[in-house]
Structure 1
Amino acid sequence: MAVTASLSCIRLPLSPTTQHFPSHSLSLSSSFTLNPLQTHLQLRLQPFRSAKSTLPIIRMSMEAGVGVMATKLGMMSYFEPEGKVVPVTVVGFREGNIVTQVKTEATDGYSAVQVGYRRVRDRKLTKPEMGHLEKAGTIPMRHLQEFRLVSVDGFEPNQKLVFEELFKEGDLVDVSGITIGKGFQGGIKRHNFRRGLMTHGSKSHRALGSIGAGTTPGHVYKGKKMPGRMGGTKTKIRKLKIVKIDNDLRVVMIKGAVPGKPGNLLRITPAKIVGKNIPKN
């Protein structure tokens, strides 16, 4: 119920659970229409509105440019024109690398390009996934990944990304993927520990050994390097050189090794070089 009053000061008591906040006053110099409940809520929320948030702002890292997804085919030796032998990884492309969504600051709060890769049958996807792809007018695709950019100008849904238009021979790229899973392994293979003596009566050959004192600290510290599951994690190899782009075979040769076994999904993006394509700060 609204009441009309002419007050010089209104002071509302705080509940027992919020006594640590100071009491608040509201000075009024003229007649006004006041809803007691609304005024009470406004005064109670005033400390939270005026206090500055001290929480850190977490932002995702920006890519140096839009990238593509590809499939690892294997490794081979490549002979350069001057006769030098270079170990390369052959990367192929299946149908896809089509823009499925363009995210902007106005719609999503950040700028990114979502890309789809590897065509599959309709029954392999759920109805929400099919609806998302049909909205963009693209074919059914298995993998969707985002490339967060500073600007998304020039990108539109159902736009096909061609590797040779984004990269050229000699460029440096960052390649990420899932490493080969090796199962449960010991300390020697997993962390490159040294083995014990094999002679002189030693009974500790490949065992881990002491992992901490019993009295102090009385427990094993977190993060101690011990036997456990090895591999099967996402890894990025930075600044690999593109040696050859073969448009006829639709393959790319990248110098060095990349994560995963043949058939593994790879994410290829322009290499981040401080001061060149990303700022120094």
Structure 2
Amino acid sequence: MASLLTTLGLRTSLRAECRLYSTAAAGLPKWTPNAVRTGVIARKKGMTAMWDEWGVRIPVTVLQLEQCQVVSVLTEEKDGYTALQIGSSDKSRKNVTMPLQGHFDAHGVEPKRKLFEFRVTPDAVLPVGTELVASHFVPGQFVDCSAPTMGKGFQGAMKRHGFGGQPASHGTSVTHRSLGSVGQRKDPGKVFKGKKMAGRMGGEQATVQNLKVMKIDNALNLLYIKGAIPGVDNQFIKIKDAVKKRGESIAPKDCLPLPFPTVDPELVKAMPRELVAKTGGSDPLVIQE
């Protein structure tokens, strides 16, 4: 209870402090609404809940950043586009193939378990070896999360595609969950490609957009993101700035500009351990006249 009250008391000032830390770094390029920052790789740790200042329960997914670093830089001149290759979670060298060992050694980075590329604008390029932490994002910001969905195995048409099934009354025998007709008569005499039928369900790449960052834990590098995120526990998740929230709508105005191209690790040490998004608004339990 004491920690909860402390968190609630800090909410009024954290957003202002967040803005201070995001603009304090000197000598770095300035964030603009058209700039595209790199994303990060985090591990899904499970789901829990938070309560806002009105006592409303908010379901959140907990994600943790583990040794998230820039592994290599792809440039327009050499590769045809500008991007950063990000790696997450150190891996034992004895479990890394020789070609990958050569790749990591050439860039002076420890071997990583997972590698992803993130497209960026030229002004958001980071040096190889730069560590990315949870405060790369700000509380109240909107992000997009991508990961393979949970595999469900072989499933029927009702579960896989939401079919209604056959009548459950008299006259229907052992076909209540059948998908029904799948084709026509002699002409065309085939089942068209793409017909929704029973088959393997899940295990496909999915992206959930416009999820709100509710809390950041700087000590444990945790992100508390509102809502559900694809994937099983310990799944690697790609997180990046929301593409549909253009310009200044991506985060609260008092948290802008975003840390660009990322947050200064030295400034993170001076931040409070927890940065919590303020929900604001009116008490939902009070009847408005």
Structure 1 and Structure 2 fold alike (TM over 0.5): yes
1:221 partner letter = F
Q: In 2, are the aligned partners of 1:64 and 1:272 still within 8 Å (CA)? A: no
Q: Find the aligned partners of 2:208 and 2:121 in 1 and give their Cα distance.
A: 23
- Is 1:191 the counterpart of 2:161 in the alignment? yes
Deviations 1:148-191 (A, max 9, x none): 11215551111112220x21000000000011000000000000
SS at match of 2:68: strand
Offset, 1:219 = 0.6
- Is 1:230 the counterpart of 2:201 in the alignment? yes
**Residue ranges of structure 2 left out of the alignment (5+ in a row):** 1-33, 249-289
Report the equivalent of 1:173: 143
Change over 3 Å in CA distance of 1:195–1:273 after alignment to 2: closer
Q: Find the aligned partners of 1:212 and 1:261 in 2 and give their Cα distance.
A: 36
SS at match of 2:159: helix
Offset, 1:105 = 1.0
What is the aligned counterpart of 2:170 among 200, 211, 214? Answer: 200
Task: Name the stretch that deviates more: 79-88 or 254-263.
Answer: 79-88
Offset, 1:73 = 0.6
Q: In 1, are the aligned partners of 2:210 and 2:245 still within 8 Å (CA)? A: no
- Is 1:245 the counterpart of 2:244 in the alignment? no
Q: Find the aligned partners of 2:49 and 2:42 in 1 and give their Cα distance.
A: 20
- Is 1:75 the counterpart of 2:67 in the alignment? no
What is the aligned counterpart of 1:117 among 79, 88, 97? Answer: 88
Q: In 2, are the aligned partners of 1:111 and 1:152 still within 8 Å (CA)? A: no
- Is 1:159 the counterpart of 2:130 in the alignment? yes
Q: Larger RCO: Structure 1 or Structure 2 (Cα < 8 Å, ≥ 6 residues apart)?
A: 2
1:156 partner letter = P
2:39 partner letter = G
Deviations 1:195-234 (A, max 9, x none): 2222212122111211111222211111100000000011
What is the aligned counterpart of 1:86 among 49, 58, 64? Answer: 58
What is the aligned counterpart of 1:211 among 182, 185, 210? Answer: 182
- Is 1:97 the counterpart of 2:68 in the alignment? yes
Q: In 2, are the aligned partners of 1:63 and 1:272 still within 8 Å (CA)? A: no
Q: Find the aligned partners of 2:186 and 2:54 in 1 and give their Cα distance.
A: 65
- Name the % identity: 40
Q: Which structure would you say has the larger Rg? A: 1
Report the equivalent of 1:56: none
Q: Find the aligned partners of 1:143 and 1:63 in 2 and give their Cα distance.
A: 25
What is the aligned counterpart of 1:260 among 219, 231, 254? Answer: 231
- Is 1:65 the counterpart of 2:65 in the alignment? no
Which protein is richer in strand relative to its size?
Answer: 1
Which protein is richer in helix relative to its size?
Answer: 2
Q: TM-score, normalised by structure 2?
A: 0.71
Change over 3 Å in CA distance of 1:102–1:210 after alignment to 2: same
Change over 3 Å in CA distance of 1:63–1:258 after alignment to 2: farther
SS at match of 1:82: coil
1:73 partner letter = K
Offset, 1:268 = 0.2
2:202 partner letter = G
**Residue ranges of structure 1 left out of the alignment (5+ in a row):** 1-61
Change over 3 Å in CA distance of 1:186–1:153 after alignment to 2: closer
Q: TM-score, normalised by structure 1?
A: 0.73
Report the equivalent of 2:106: 135
What is the aligned counterpart of 1:182 among 152, 156, 177? Answer: 152
2:47 partner letter = M
1:266 partner letter = I
2:38 partner letter = V
1:258 partner letter = I
- Provide the aligned C-alpha RMSD in A: 1.9
Q: Find the aligned partners of 1:246 and 1:158 in 2 and give their Cα distance.
A: 22
